[in-house]
Structure formats: structure tokens, C-alpha cells
Amino acid sequence: MPESRSRKIKKRSYTPPPQSKSKPPSPGWWVPTMLTVMLVGFAWVIVFYISQGSWPIRSIGQWNLLIGFGLVLGGFGMTANWR
């Protein structure tokens, strides 16, 4: 009985792709920067409330809250990339 062509052709054996190395740890400045950004954000909001809107930037009014909370969220965002 004749063999089919597909049986005559030898298939290559499966070799899995090389394993990717795990990501390197965060640089040494990452954690201090992350904590500083969060603390500056908290301080910005606290100063705004204590000074009743006179500080940090009087002319932008309630936007000071957005800046403060934006800094806090930026610091928390940095925690997602911390290894």
C-alpha cells in the first residue's frame, strides 16, 4: 500500500519559545519619589483647607484640590510599577 506524502515528510519537533526573564527590580529612587509625591499631594490639600483657600495658589481657587489629589493619585499610580 502506498504511503501518503504527509507521512513521508518529517515534522520538526516542537521547541517552546525561550522564557522571558522577569522584570528587573525598581531603581533605588523609585520608592522615595513615590512617597514624596504622595506626601506633597496630601500636604497640598491640607494646606489648602487650613488656610481656607489662601494657600498654596490663591488665584486658582478650588483647582488646588485637583492638584493635590492629582499628586496623590500619581503617587499611587507609581505603586503599580514598583517591584
Note the pLDDT tens digit of each residue in 3-24. Answer: 666 655 666 778 888 887 888 8
Q: How far is CA 45 from the centre of its chain?
A: 23
Q: Cα-flanking dihedrals φ and ψ of residue 69, to 5°? A: -70, -30
Q: Are 34 and 78 in contact (CB under 8 A)?
A: yes
Provide Rg for the chain, Cα atoms.
28
pLDDT 10s digits, 47-82: 999 998 788 888 888 899 999 999 999 999 999 988
In this prediction, residues 28-40 reach a mean pLDDT of 94
d(CA 68, CA 58): 14
d(CA 82, CA 36): 14
pLDDT value at position 5? 63
